[in-house]
A and B are shown apart, each in its own frame.
Chain A
Amino acid sequence: MSVASWFATRWIILDAGVFGPMRKTPGRTLLAVLAIALGVALGFAIYVINRLAADEVSLAARSTFGLADLAVETSGTGFDETLYPVIARVPGVAAASPVVEVEAKLVGRRGALTVIGMDGFRSRLLQPSFASLATTMPDDATGLPGSDVAYLSASAARSLGLAQGDRLQLQNGLQSLQFTVAGVLPPAALRDQAAVIDIATAQWKFDRLGKISRINLRLQSGSDLHRVRTDLMALLPPGVRVVAPGEATDDALRLSRAYRSNLTALALVALFTGGFFVYSTQSLAVLRRRREFALLHALGVSRGQQLTLVLMNGVMLGLAGAVLGILLGAGIAKAGLGLLGADLGAGFFRGIEPQLRLQWPEVLGFIALGTLVAIVGTVRPALEAARIPTAAALKAGDVLSGKVRRHGALIVVLFAVAGTVLLLPPVAGLPLPGYAAIALLLVGAIVAMPSLLNALLAKAPFVRAVPYEMAIAHLRGTARYATLSVSAIVVSFSLMVAMAIMVTSFRNSLDAWTQRILPADIYMRVGYTGQSSHLDEQSVAALRAVDGVERLEVSRFAEASLASGGDVTIVARDLDQAHVERTLWVEASSDVELPPGTTPVWISEAAADLFGLRSGATVELNIGGHLLKAFVRGVWRDYEHQRGAVVMERSAYLQLTGDLFVNSVWMWLKPGATEESVLQSIRQRLPAGSEYDLRTPRELRRLSLQAFDRTFAMTYVLELIAIFIGLFGISAGTSAQVLARRSEFGVLRHVGLTRVQIAAMLAIEGAGLGSVGVFAGLLTGSVVSLILIYVVNRQSFHWSMDLSVPLGLVAGLSAALVAAAALIAVFSGRQAMRRDVVGAVKEDW
């Protein structure tokens, strides 16, 4: 046999087994391709955006480090500057560049700007790109030292819209500071949104005299990094640590990882649903093409070749879908970066503006993933195709087997494994066991679908109407066939239900929490942990004296580190110790007598989870160099400080640190005083031009819910897409069936059924299938939502929430889906009957 003819034979077989059928049903092929494409597109887009964000964060962290090999740093306002010469003289240290870092509130703008105070003479050894900062003999006024000039990073200049010569206004306390923009740094020099000023100016103007935040270190070439590190650590007081550039990057990314991994999981769900869609369409195709396969076998195509043929089909679908998905995904990623930013609207990364750059491994990886999903979806149908009994299937009228295999044991095992996996701890801080359990649960639900359908049909109410009876009978007879088309919708709907319940629970919990922690009438906030703006004593006294203010409570944010490692936010506030629950949402507390020498604190759930603490524990805290032995009196619910917060009494904090500054003020009004007038007089009493946040709890509640909705906007979109793919499944399944049943419709017409009756029958079938899908979806979804709320969320974000079910929304969605299923069935039926149905009777006989 010549090579050409060898190829010709293969081609004929391929054409008959793969391309022919695909050509014959272009709509279904396209839908299958689209289903895979959508899944791949979403997964790819989210992956790429995450990767770009991660790259950018690393670069940013790297750029602040410059050429440094190590850095000595601490949290909060910094460490004593006398440590600088000690560190600089450690053997092996070639250059030491001290840095004062301040989160400076921007005046007249939202948010803060990182102000980096540097000694240009020292930093240029580590940051050659900063060499432009006039470190030569400063004869001209452009030099940094001693003048109120600032260099802006390229991203800060862009986002603030400032150029050389413009004024930059920053706030310290309630006081406004003026800087002149002396220049804009090249983009690679500093990636963060930051302003660089002279270190002495930073210390003086931002109340940091005697303190530095960090010392960047360059080691002598050939020196032993590990040894220098050990030497350094021996010199450092508690709370000051040595970090290498890579560690800072990891840290920056860790916080957003939970959010990013959850998004990725959602995107993969879309691909998962796509896989189910391929599975259902391929299974249907195999059922439909029984005679073709039998014929091919009779013509000499081996079972193995048949298996390959169907698998080839899956590969083709998968490849086409994946390639399309990559294109689509790149587009989505580009649009997403432009519209929502690198964190997709969640506000994790500031000043990061990555450009879309794709890498070959990730492109190929996602093409492979899409193809693999399609192949996996095709494996079972392919096996089935290979098993078709030739003789029986070749006979005219070979009725599709509707027999249902129960798979009872498999289902039990799947659910049992899911339950067991749930007990496992998170992997590397990610709730992977939770996701695995969800996946197992979904697969279990799909496997159980035929049995469920049978069980439900057995219980179907008896209604004396021909179309209804026929529809029920048909569903009963083709349970296996029918459930295939709903598997995709079960997956997507259950996830939608789960997400809806989770998001509603979260939103309601947040709302309840907001109201609980904001019992006052007016609420004021100046600055946050480590930020340069704050209220001093005089300002607080001025507030106290405002007419109409009955009483007020204040709090201060500070940074602290645990002796055992890790950082927390300290919230030092006026607290009624006997009734802490009035201001905090206490989840657990300990009644044990206070151990001598300890101070009672209340830790947030995140702190409890992250540091393995519970009420009744004692913990050593380092608050700005002051050591505190704390006793965990209770654990409170906190949606605000993701890295963990510790509430302590302000008086104890004052005693420890002497820090009189204040960040928040709660004000209760006298009876009869109006909010408006009090707000007015507060504004009059505080220095003009200063920036502070003055709000009523009402406003705060609205704003926090807005922020919430913005964060979850992306998840809604992903869910809708999953549902969309699910609907593809129903429509493809139904239309395939309906086309195959043309001759059946013909017979029905012959025996006297009207078109309307057939349409009604189809509608009932569709609605019935839809209902079963919805029912299964509701059941699975509810369980998945519990996993999301109590396992996934708790493990990724460390906050608990109370279950609340959006009954209306779920009911509405269910109804809409059932209606959509019915409509699709009727629509397909009408298309099928448009041609000569009566004549079609002859086709198969």
Chain B
Amino acid sequence: MTTTQRRRHASTRAGIGCDRCGCNDCNASVGHLASLRRALRCVAAMFLLLVAALVLQSPAVAGEVTYPPVVAGYRIEFPRDEGSHPDFRTEWWYVTGWLEDESGAPIGFQQTFFRRRPGIDEANPSRFAAKQLLFAHAAISDPRVGRLLRDERSAREGFGLATAQSGALSVSIDDWHLRASGGNGQHAYEASAQGREFSFQLNLQATQPAVLQGDNGYSRKGPAESSASYYYSVPQLQVSGQMKIRGREHRVHGVAWLDHEWSAELMEPQSQGWDWAGINLDDGAALMMFRMRGIDGKSRWAAATWGGAESRKSAPAEVEWLPLRQWRSPRTGIEYPVEWRVRVGERSVVLRPLMNDQENDTRGSTGTIYWEGAVRAFDQHDMPLGRGYLELTGYGERVKL
């Protein structure tokens, strides 16, 4: 309570004023007739309220927002589509990568910005109305620490404090941001986050054009046609910058991957979660593979893209995820398959984590617990293929988007 209001309380109540009387006692003391009248008025008012409620119910239902559908044939254009698509329900920008510090020790990092249009309060003229919500996660996988260092931010968009710009990539919550920073033909990004145990300012230089996932960026996520997203990736980003881990400054460099995906209905009701991996291959190409898991644990849908801009797409039946090793989180007790063999057509890839404990608890913002960590990829002869990130969701509770 503000001090002024405290004062007000005191003055309203303390003054021996004549007008501090409540309203009830005066009405109560008028007698039988009045109370009967009051009762009748009460009934009338109740009836009116009921009618009003019924009338108001319909616009409330009609007032629910309709999100634009994700349809095949949409032409993704840059830099326009790097920016926010505020009409859609869900959108994210997702940077993952492998870095090395001065000593050559490997460090995994990821930063994600989520945008969400909850479809509530759209009629509220207040600038605080929660029409767009923004969330951000960042995490560091440093084997010397042995577990994920993580932090998060969340805010409603507005006042320039939390932004998701349309037309060009620029998302931020307070002092966290991810934005396109290129100019004169250069395409680059800046990622910055300040957490309790770490902080980083990274420059990500694009080395190749974006890979449109799925059918020219229309990425199916399930048997139903409506279950899809617009999705592209920018692999093989050259990273350089500063990273502070538990008070120690590091100069870092490495390779990263940017994903950008927006949709109305990514998860089907029958889906439990997904497994996803994005690997920067040592030969300069990129490998993206995912599958949606049903509540029964079986694959409902899968896809993979192997190659650069001219990549080879694999159909759902060609992508098979086989778990090789389980790891149980000592904190949550959730068991994650942290090592995989993934068959993509006639080839297969083995994924092995940089370290086991890369569980990310984001119940403070997006409300999920999942495993997301740096992995190395090997070919069928166990020869190193590349490095990237693996995401395992829905192993605890079903993922709610």
Which residues of A are interface residues toward B (Cβ below 8 A)?
60-61, 64, 71, 73-76, 81-82, 84-85, 88-89, 98, 101, 103, 108-111, 114, 116, 119, 121-122, 131, 135-139, 143, 145-147, 192, 194, 198-201, 203-204, 209-210, 213-214, 243, 247-248, 251-252, 255-256, 259, 346-348, 350, 510, 514, 517-518, 523, 525, 528-530, 559, 567, 569, 639-643, 664, 688-689, 691-695, 699-701, 703-704, 707-708, 711
Could you say which residues of chain B place their CB within 8 Å of the CB of A529? 8, 11-12
**Chain B nearest CB, measured from A533 CB (Å):** 10
Are B118 and A145 in contact (CB-based, < 8 A)? yes
B26, CB-defined interface residue at 8 Å: yes
* Contact of A135 (CB < 8 Å), options: B6, B20, B154: B154
Are A695 and B26 in contact (CB-based, < 8 A)? yes
* Contact of A75 (CB < 8 Å), options: B4, B10, B15, B41: B4
Could you say which residues of chain B place their CB within 8 Å of the CB of A639? 15-17
B224, CB-defined interface residue at 8 Å: no
* Contact of A689 (CB < 8 Å), options: B1, B45, B174: B45
Are A694 and B26 in contact (CB-based, < 8 A)? yes
B105, CB-defined interface residue at 8 Å: no
Which residues of B are interface residues toward A (Cβ below 8 A)?
1-26, 41, 44-45, 48-49, 116, 118, 120-121, 124-130, 133, 135, 154-156, 159-161, 174, 363-367, 400-401
Are A137 and B41 in contact (CB-based, < 8 A)? no
Given A243-B3, A693-B22, output 15 extra A-B contacts at Cβ < 8 Å: A73-B3, A74-B4, A81-B159, A88-B159, A109-B24, A135-B154, A137-B135, A146-B120, A198-B121, A213-B5, A255-B7, A529-B11, A642-B10, A643-B7, A695-B21
* Contact of A525 (CB < 8 Å), options: B19, B118, B126, B174: B19
- Which residue of chain B has its CB nearest to the CB of A109? B24
* Contact of A640 (CB < 8 Å), options: B15, B130, B135, B366: B15
- Per the bound structure, the CA–CA distance linking A529 and B19 in Å amounts to 13
**Chain B nearest CB, measured from A163 CB (Å):** 21
Specify the main secondary structure of chain A where it touches its partner: mixed
Are A700 and B21 in contact (CB-based, < 8 A)? yes
**Chain A nearest CB, measured from B249 CB (Å):** 18
Could you say which residues of chain A place their CB within 8 Å of the CB of B4? 73-76, 530, 559, 567
Given A61-B6, A137-B116, A530-B5: A210 and B19 interface contact (C-beta under 8 Å):
no
Given A529-B8, A703-B18: A350 and B13 interface contact (C-beta under 8 Å):
yes
Are B130 and A146 in contact (CB-based, < 8 A)? yes
- Per the bound structure, the CA–CA distance linking A269 and B358 in Å amounts to 71
Interface centre among A192, A689, A692, A701 (most CB of B within 10 A): A689
Are A642 and B11 in contact (CB-based, < 8 A)? yes
- Per the bound structure, the CA–CA distance linking A124 and B297 in Å amounts to 36
Given A111-B22, A700-B18: A145 and B120 interface contact (C-beta under 8 Å):
yes
* Contact of B366 (CB < 8 Å), options: A136, A199, A694: A136
Given A88-B161, A137-B116, A347-B14: A203 and B126 interface contact (C-beta under 8 Å):
yes
**Chain B nearest CB, measured from A51 CB (Å):** 18
Given A146-B129, A203-B128: A110 and B23 interface contact (C-beta under 8 Å):
yes
Are A75 and B118 in contact (CB-based, < 8 A)? no
Are A700 and B155 in contact (CB-based, < 8 A)? no
Q: List 12 A-B contacts (CB under 8 A).
A: A81-B159, A114-B1, A131-B364, A137-B366, A145-B118, A147-B121, A198-B130, A210-B127, A528-B8, A640-B15, A694-B23, A707-B21
Are B365 and A136 in contact (CB-based, < 8 A)? yes
- Per the bound structure, the CA–CA distance linking A166 and B287 in Å amounts to 54
* Contact of B16 (CB < 8 Å), options: A201, A248, A664, A707: A707
- Which residue of chain B has its CB nearest to the CB of A258? B14
- Per the bound structure, the CA–CA distance linking A145 and B364 in Å amounts to 16
* Contact of A209 (CB < 8 Å), options: B17, B125, B160, B161: B125
Could you say which residues of chain A place their CB within 8 Å of the CB of B118? 137-139, 145-146
Could you say which residues of chain B place their CB within 8 Å of the CB of A199? 126, 128
**Chain A nearest CB, measured from B62 CB (Å):** 16
Could you say which residues of chain A place their CB within 8 Å of the CB of B6? 61, 248, 251-252, 255
Are A75 and B18 in contact (CB-based, < 8 A)? no
Could you say which residues of chain B place their CB within 8 Å of the CB of A85? 159-161
Could you say which residues of chain A place their CB within 8 Å of the CB of B124? 146, 200-201, 204
**Chain A nearest CB, measured from B63 CB (Å):** 11
Could you say which residues of chain A place their CB within 8 Å of the CB of B25? 110, 703
Could you say which residues of chain A place their CB within 8 Å of the CB of B130? 138, 145-146, 198, 200
Given A103-B8, A214-B2: A518 and B18 interface contact (C-beta under 8 Å):
yes
**Chain A nearest CB, measured from B36 CB (Å):** 14
Are B400 and A137 in contact (CB-based, < 8 A)? yes
Interface centre among B16, B155, B159 (most CB of A within 10 A): B16
Could you say which residues of chain B place their CB within 8 Å of the CB of A255? 6-7, 10-11, 14
- Per the bound structure, the CA–CA distance linking A817 and B116 in Å amounts to 81
- Per the bound structure, the CA–CA distance linking A523 and B16 in Å amounts to 17
- Per the bound structure, the CA–CA distance linking A98 and B21 in Å amounts to 33
- Which residue of chain B has its CB nearest to the CB of A192? B1
- Which residue of chain A has its CB nearest to the CB of B21? A703
- Per the bound structure, the CA–CA distance linking A548 and B275 in Å amounts to 78
Could you say which residues of chain A place their CB within 8 Å of the CB of B2? 71, 73-75, 101, 213-214, 248
Given A75-B4, A691-B23, A703-B18: A122 and B10 interface contact (C-beta under 8 Å):
no
Are A688 and B48 in contact (CB-based, < 8 A)? yes
* Contact of A707 (CB < 8 Å), options: B7, B20, B116, B154: B20
Given A136-B363, A704-B16: A147 and B120 interface contact (C-beta under 8 Å):
yes
**Chain B nearest CB, measured from A526 CB (Å):** 9
Are A348 and B13 in contact (CB-based, < 8 A)? yes
Could you say which residues of chain B place their CB within 8 Å of the CB of A259? 14
